[in-house]
Amino acid sequence: MRIAVLSDIHANLPALDAVLAALGEVDAVWHLGDVVGYGPHPDEVVARLAEVGAIGVRGNHDEAALGNLDATYFNPAARWAVEWTGGRITTETRAWLEALPERLEIDEMTLVHGSPRDPVWEYVTTTPAARANLGAFATPFCLHGHTHVPAAWCDDDGQVELVRPSDGSELALGARRLLLNPGSVGQPRDGDPRTAYAVYDDHERTVTVHRLEYDIAATQQKMVAAGLPDWLIQRLSRGR
């Protein structure tokens, strides 16, 4: 099976549609949470994911948009956007988000938003955090997001190694445990504004990371019209 792995879409429909068009036929679409928040198209993105039968997990922005957690932990622009999202999503969108679990296990993969030991909140950005989390899931591999930066942490006989995948990087699934982050579809933060996603091939036993241009200006125009904070609009061009 060829499976699309999409994380941190953040209500950015032009980015999601560019990815879906580039993917063509896939056997499944998995998402790793933060479907909404920051971006201008929460209902449209949820409708598109429902249309393609995507399955996945909930992120901290999804939780906040549902009003399930205190948004004062967010920076002011993120909080503004999440309150804007919570105030406008339809009951269908809300129900779809409410149904997302915190964690999914599908065959050899665990899916979470942040980390396996703290599925909604933890950022895996350091070797000690990666080491602890590489021992915190029951399957051989774990897919996660939340940092908006593509990364693969592998456990090589107790040594934790970090690989930074670029466009076209193919990671082989072997004996080593892996914590794999495909980057963000809707708000990349590694200095490359192109959308990021991965394709998992369970027959070839590979995960390949891709980067792709999308119509950033279309998303930004919609954000301007919605009155979303300027800093959030500008960061899409910088990929920061």
Report the residue number whose CB is nearest to Zn ion: 34
Nearer to Zn ion, 143 or 173 (CB): 143
Among 14, 17, 23, 34, binds Zn ion (CB under 5 A): 34
Cα→Cα distances 10→6, 16, 22, 60, 155, Å: 11, 9, 19, 11, 30
Enter the tokens of residue 142: 């774990």
Q: Which stretch binds Zn ion (CB under 5 A): 28-36, 88-96, 212-220, 224-232?
A: 28-36
Nearer to Zn ion, 133 or 160 (CB): 133
Q: How far is the CB of 61 from Zn ion (least distance, A)?
A: 6
Nearer to Zn ion, 8 or 17 (CB): 8
The DSSP secondary-structure symbol of 59 reads -
Q: How far is CA 80 from the centre of its chain?
A: 20
Residues 96-125 that bind Zn ion (CB under 5 A): none
| Per-residue binder mask for Zn ion (CB under 5 A), 125-154, x = binder | ------------------------------
- Give residue 200's identity as a one-letter amino acid code: Y
- Give the 3-state secondary structure of residue 19: helix
Q: How far is the CB of 81 from Zn ion (least distance, A)?
A: 11
Nearer to Zn ion, 34 or 43 (CB): 34
- Give the 3-state secondary structure of residue 220: helix
- # of chain residues touching Zn ion (CB under 5 A): 2
Cα→Cα distances 29→20, 56, 97, 173, Å: 9, 8, 16, 19
Q: Does 63 bind Zn ion (CB under 5 A)?
A: no
Cα→Cα distances 118→9, 23, 45, 208, Å: 20, 30, 25, 25
Nearer to Zn ion, 82 or 173 (CB): 82
- Give residue 141's identity as a one-letter amino acid code: F
**In 10 A of CB 169, how many CB atoms?**
16
Among 6, 8, 63, 211, binds Zn ion (CB under 5 A): 8
| Contact footprint for Zn ion (CB under 5 A) | 8, 34
